[in-house]
Amino acid sequence: MNEFMQTSIFAGATISLLAYMLGAWLKKKFHSGLFNPLLISIAATILVLLAAHVDYDTYNMGAKYISWFLTPATVCLAIPLYEQLTLLKKNLAAVAAGIVSGVLTSLVTVLLLALLFGLNQQEFVTFLPKSITTAIGMGVSQELGGHVNITVLVIVVTGVLGNILAEPVFKLFRIQEPIAKGLALGSSAHAIGTAKAMELGEIEGAMSSLSIAVAGILTVFGASVFSWIYSVL
């Protein structure tokens, strides 16, 4: 099997897409944020590869063509940002304060916890982009020399947990304004959190999707500064 898989260009990509369809189907069936199609597809693909004794490099010969689309897709995140522009301008102070404070909180708490756990530089930068969308976060981790695969795991799990914890957290901290809820979800749990924000309401959804690109771009700059700070500490 491995012998054939090594020459196959389509096997890796096919398995990945099939696994994603399975995840999407499970999510639809159980209506729960816990069934995240991306997490399920990653787990299912790993299980299939282990069962078939296919190693990662072999799988990736075909699967890498899926990732090839990532840069153009990320470029397109400018489109929803542009569409939400009037909403951004109307609430400029709240949006700016909400996202900037969120980005700073993320960088500072990662720094403090990294010091607490005594992480090395490479481990630290792996966590730096954990609150932003996978597309941008992967790039940040790569640029700063982190473990990109672990960054992806942490980002996706953050999104899924954000989806689940949003309502209890809002209750606990008495966050009631729809705009504030949207900004909080978008800057803490990126695109996966935005799915939850859209469930909460239209304003929440729009605010959250606006936060994805803005928090992502701010983190690109913030992360390189924090990476430097950690290296001199």
**Touching other proteins, residues 164-203 (CB under 8 A):** 165-166, 169-170, 172-173, 175-177, 179-181, 183-185, 187-189, 191
Give yes or no for residue 60 binding other proteins (CB under 8 A). yes
Residue 183 near residue 102, CB atoms below 8 Å: yes
Q: Which of 26, 34, 87, 161 binds other proteins (CB under 8 A)?
A: 161
- Determine the Cα–Cα distance for residues 49 and 169; give it in Å rounded to an integer: 38
Residues in contact with other proteins, shown as a per-residue x/- string from 7 to 46 under the rule CB under 8 A: -----x---xx-xx----------------xxx-xx--xx
Q: Which residue lies nearer to other proteins by CB, 140 or 206?
A: 140
Residue 166 near residue 185, CB atoms below 8 Å: yes
Q: Which residue lies nearer to other proteins by CB, 2 or 67?
A: 67
Give yes or no for residue 162 binding other proteins (CB under 8 A). yes
- Determine the Cα–Cα distance for residues 157 and 146; give it in Å rounded to an integer: 17
Q: Which residue lies nearer to other proteins by CB, 87 or 217?
A: 217
Give yes or no for residue 67 binding other proteins (CB under 8 A). yes
Number of H helices and number of E strands within the chain? 13, 0
Residues 6+ apart with CB under 8 A from 204: 178, 179, 181, 182, 185, 197, 198
